Amino acid sequence: MTLFTKDLTKLEKNLGIKFKNLDLLKQACVHRSYLNENPNFPLPHNERLEFLGDAVLEIIVTEHLYRNHPDPEGVLTNWRSAIVNTRMLAQKAKQLEIENYLYLSRGEVKSLGKAREVILANAFEACVGAIYLDQGMKKAKDFIEKKLLVELPQIIQKKLYVDPKSQLQELVQDKLRITPTYQVLKEWGPDHARQFLMGVYLEDKLIGQGQGRSKQEAQVKAAEDALKKEEWKKIRE
């Protein structure tokens, strides 16, 4: 599929932006890997736009937090990290269907998990950079407030800015006066691609499991799993 067969009208509608220079939006969707397979492609990849968008995103989110929340700097930093982290930006990119317009190599099209999350988050930042260049700071601010900062209230309310392991430990210690422990349930694979299955326990009761490329990553997944369980909803009450 060539550059000019992709109709970006729906993407513009999803973003809520009518671009003056549509090539900026097209460029925001071009991953470096695509150019490796298509060296004659008429636009550069999106990394410079991502660089710009990252800075625009940080100043707008930081100013919003500063003006609307009289909390200490450490608290605001945690909230900002939660709203601009890779997972949140990738989630927003999916909601806005940016994924459908990406130019990826045949290999990257098949990427899953963390690798795909990073590609999506970077594309979201590149779109922010494109909006800023095409429309200016006010439009970029409107976009970020409408599409991203709307998530802030639930991040604060549900303490999503706290990492799952800390959140689980705080919850369990508060309610049960015990500390969760983690054990390796299984590990496999070669040294360069090791996989771990971790379990999180309350005394001898297994309450969650998670898999990852490191013990730390698997522990976080196990804590996330435990926090989703029905009994934890009751403990929260």
- Mean pLDDT score across all residues of the chain: 89
User: How high is the pLDDT of residue 166?
Assistant: 80
Average pLDDT in the 212-228 region? 87
pLDDT in tens, 119-166: 999 999 999 999 999 999 999 999 999 999 999 999 888 777 777 888
- Beta carbons of 69 and 79 less than 8 angstroms apart: yes
Say which CATH superfamily domain 3-157 falls into.
Ribonuclease III domain (1.10.1520.10)
Sign of dihedral through CA atoms 19, 94, 52, 2?
Answer: negative
Active site residue 125: yes
Comparing CA positions, the residue from 174, 187, 184 lying closest to residue 206 is: 184
Which among 54, 108, 134, 225 is annotated as catalytic?
Answer: 54
| pTM of this structure | 0.73
Q: Is 54 a catalytic residue?
A: yes
91 vs 177: CA distance, rounded Å: 35
Give the domain ranges of the chain. Answer: 3-157, 164-236
Mean pLDDT of 202-225: 89
State mean pLDDT over 97-124.
88
Tokens 């490191």 belong to residue? 214
217 in Cβ contact with 205 (< 8 Å): no
Task: Give 146 or 106, the one with higher predicted confidence.
Answer: 146
* Residue 74 pLDDT > 80: yes
> For position 4, what pLDDT does the model report?
42
Question: Closest Cα partner for 88 from 152, 1, 131?
Answer: 152
**Is the pLDDT at 217 greater than 60, yes or no?**
yes
pLDDT at 83 over 90: yes
Q: Which residues contact 162 (CB under 8 A, 6 or more apart)?
A: 78, 170
CATH 3.20.20.370 fits 164-236, yes or no: no
> Of these residues, 117, 125, 134, 225, which one is catalytic?
125
- How far apart CA 144 and CA 161 sit, in angstroms, is 18
Q: Is the separation of the CB atoms in 80 and 62 below 8 Å?
A: yes
Question: Among 102, 96, 135, which Cα is nearest to 14's?
Answer: 96
